[in-house]
Structure 1
């Protein structure tokens, strides 16, 4: 099984947010201070759980201990769409976590917000991924190479794919820039 696209994409944003918070403009470590500030501002950042959840989930950095990795893997291998019988509730998941006492007040505030239950499951899943090296410990699909393909062809396809993606994002391709 693979990590679902939902959690893969969300983790990328989560990791970027943590990186942004990690150091100040002078390059000094600022993560603890900035996380504390965010935790103190919970009421102000709560509306962001709907449109920028990664900016809120960071407040749960080191908030959870995971007693049942299989449940956590089941979560990150699935998609929360529909959020019904197929996806675990926070009430059920919290039974399998050690939760830091400082996080209880934050959890209560989030659970009293629309979408808070799903958000808390997602926050725990992202913390699980971070604390376990994200993508490193989970089985990934084997890449079967065609004998006719070589590394140069693969690199060319990757380069074309990257250029196409950049064009879709509104950037000019390297070829266009070099021709100007």
Structure 2
């Protein structure tokens, strides 16, 4: 079994967000300070759960201990399209977690936001993935050489379309910079 595409993509963004918060411009550790700042601004960042959940989920970094890894794994493998009836609720999931007391107010504020229930499941799942080192614990589907070639072509097309979009926005294309 492999990670659902939804969680694979979101987890990569989550890791990048944590990485961005980890150090300041001088390279000094800043994660604790920046997370505390984000936690104090929760009311202002909660609307982002709809379009950038990874940027909000980081406020729950180290908030959970996982008492039932199997329950968490089933979420990692799921594709929560539209958060249908099959997606676990926060009430059900939270019974499988130990939650740091400092996170209680953050959770309450989140649950009082539209989509907060599903978001809390997603935030806990991202933390679970981080806690177990997702890339080493879940087998990714093997890719054939033909699929690799297709993927490289797709990446090239994506790069070209990204360059085109940047040009349309008034930025110099990367092609012009490389020539």
Normalising by the residue count of structure 1, what TM-score does the alignment of the two structures yield?
A: 0.85
Partner-residue secondary structure (3-state), 1:20: helix
| Number of the residue aligned with 2:24 | 24
Deviation for aligned residue 1:145 = 5.7
| Number of the residue aligned with 2:5 | 5
Q: Which has the larger radius of gyration?
A: 1
Question: Where do 5+ consecutive residues of structure 2 fail to align?
Answer: 165-172
Partner-residue secondary structure (3-state), 1:141: coil
Deviation for aligned residue 1:81 = 1.4
| Number of the residue aligned with 2:68 | 68
Normalising by the residue count of structure 2, what TM-score does the alignment of the two structures yield?
A: 0.86
- In 1, Cα distance between the equivalents of 2:37 and 2:162? 33
Partner-residue secondary structure (3-state), 1:65: strand
The alignment status of 1:45 with 2:38, answered yes or no, reads no
Structure 1 stretches of 4+ with a deviation exceeding 6 A read none
| Number of the residue aligned with 2:168 | none
Deviation for aligned residue 1:173 = 7.8
Range with greater deviation from structure 2 (89-98 or 3-12): 3-12
- In 2, Cα distance between the equivalents of 1:177 and 1:113? 44
The alignment status of 1:125 with 2:125, answered yes or no, reads yes
Greater helix fraction, Structure 1 or Structure 2: 2
| Number of the residue aligned with 1:107 | 107
| Number of the residue aligned with 2:86 | 86
Q: Please list the CA deviations of residues 59-110 of structure 1 after superposition, one character each: whole Å capped at 9, or x if unmatched.
A: 0000000011111111011111132331100000000000000001000000
Deviation for aligned residue 1:144 = 5.0
Deviation for aligned residue 1:53 = 1.0
> After the TM superposition, which residues 129-144 of structure 1 pair with which residues of structure 2 at under 5 Å, given as runs?
129-144=129-144
Deviation for aligned residue 1:142 = 3.1
| Number of the residue aligned with 1:170 | 163
- In 2, Cα distance between the equivalents of 1:4 and 1:158? 18
- In 2, Cα distance between the equivalents of 1:106 and 1:112? 10
